[in-house]
Amino acid sequence: MTNGRTPDRVAASAPGRRWPVHRAWIVAGVTFLVLLASAAFRASLGVLLVPIEEDLGWSRTDTSIAVSLNLVVYGLAAPFAAALLERIGVRRTAVSALILIAVGCLITTVMVAPWHLWAAWGVVIGIGTGSVALVFGAIVVSRWFVARRGLVIGIIGAAWATGQLIFLPLLAAAVEAFGWRSASLLIAGWCAVLVPLVAVVLRDRPADVGLLPYGAGPDDVEDATPPPSARAAIARAVTVLREVGLTRPFLLLAGTFFICGWTTNGIISSHFVPAAHDHGMSATVAAGLLAVVGIFDIVGTIGSGWLTDRVDPRLLLVAYYGLRGLALLAVPAIMGPGVEPPILVVVALFGLDWVATVPPTVILCRAAFGAERGGIAFGWVFASHMVGAGVAAAVSGAMRSVSGSYTSAWLLAGGLAIAAAAASLALPRVRRGVPQPAV
């Protein structure tokens, strides 16, 4: 309980010590670091594709299968992770996921056949990163925050951008200096560093440390019901999908987020560096351009969280997908061996609306399906995002293998983004300040 104190100065009564700010912000910060690591490491295979192919003699199809598996497993893990969080808890989920990522990276250092990469990066790391994906962050925020929820979701979403900003140029430099296996070892080491921090700071709910969520009043105390069994949690995820899966809002949200995954993780994260390599650009320079995407995405995602609290989320999605489509259509004409102003403009557009789609999509899910089912429904919408990314990774790699160029892949992605912008107008309107019925 807050006992009349301001939300920023609530003490964590359970451990008997005071925190300088409301503990929700500390939890959000650690959650940001976990998502930062997860997203950066999942995307890092784009930097490793060419070095692995050259070192082990594998084809682009071989490595693209690993990328595709990773994205699909990553996405399909999300809705079940959302349900299982109710059983095993936030802290144990995060610790287990970090251990899986570290183990998967260590396996890649001794692999000798393509299926080893598919199993380690596609399945093991896919499950680990999927368990602490954006759905994980959205659930943590919904439990720990009442006020500033849209803003914090935007900040958490920016973890993807910061991960690229910090890690991809570092990993690319490590690959050039010490070989691609050094990058796998760096990832495993960072996961090991995060495990004790997560264990100390993260808790499942504010009530576990004697607090209310940030911005909550005395009437907002959570009902301390026992967690469901693992079987019940998984059944709950399937039940929610059965209840909402054929509704118009879900089909529109899942369809547009499928395209979101296609046009971000599927082609840019996975194939931008190899595509730049085709044009004579070094991996370090290409990774630096993705870091520029990261810089602008920090601004775009946090700004999107702020806007989502004030502007019709449907109109935000129209703008985001439309701008992304134009940027993708421009890539074949401006990609070259050097960094010219047009490519900087395009990567800035990529950044501004990359994860900016997340806050309005989360709010639209909550509005359409209610607070109780909204988190799990978003888990399935996010699964659609990553399935789209996985399909795009495989299709884009196949297009390049057949034609020797990524041009058709960029044009296809741009056209799909324009289609998503048009479809966003058909989403149901959010009525501000009015309780939303579950459909």
262 within a domain of the structure (yes/no): yes
CATH of the domain at 335: 1.20.1250.20
Per-residue confidence (pLDDT) for residue 4, from 0 to 100: 41
Per-residue pLDDT at 258 exceeds 80: yes
**Among candidate residues 174, 172, 206, 166, the one with its CA nearest the CA of residue 25:** 206
For 262-295, what is each residue's pLDDT tens digit?
A: 998 888 887 888 888 888 888 788 888 887 887 7
Taking residues 7-12, report their average pLDDT: 39
Taking residues 20-46, report their average pLDDT: 79
Count how many domains the chain has.
1
For 172-195, what is each residue's pLDDT tens digit?
A: 888 888 888 888 888 888 888 899
5 within a domain of the structure (yes/no): no
45 within a domain of the structure (yes/no): yes
Taking residues 400-413, report their average pLDDT: 89
223 within a domain of the structure (yes/no): no
CB count in 10 Å sphere of residue 303: 16
More confident residue, 87 or 296: 296
More confident residue, 50 or 396: 396
Per the structure, the complete domain to which residue 272 belongs is given by 12-216+228-424
222 within a domain of the structure (yes/no): no
Per-residue confidence (pLDDT) for residue 232, from 0 to 100: 67
2 within a domain of the structure (yes/no): no
**Rounded (5°) CA angle 232-208-137:** 65
439 within a domain of the structure (yes/no): no
Per-residue confidence (pLDDT) for residue 1, from 0 to 100: 38
More confident residue, 67 or 411: 411
52 within a domain of the structure (yes/no): yes
What pTM value is reported for the model? 0.68
**Among candidate residues 144, 174, 141, the one with its CA nearest the CA of residue 35:** 141
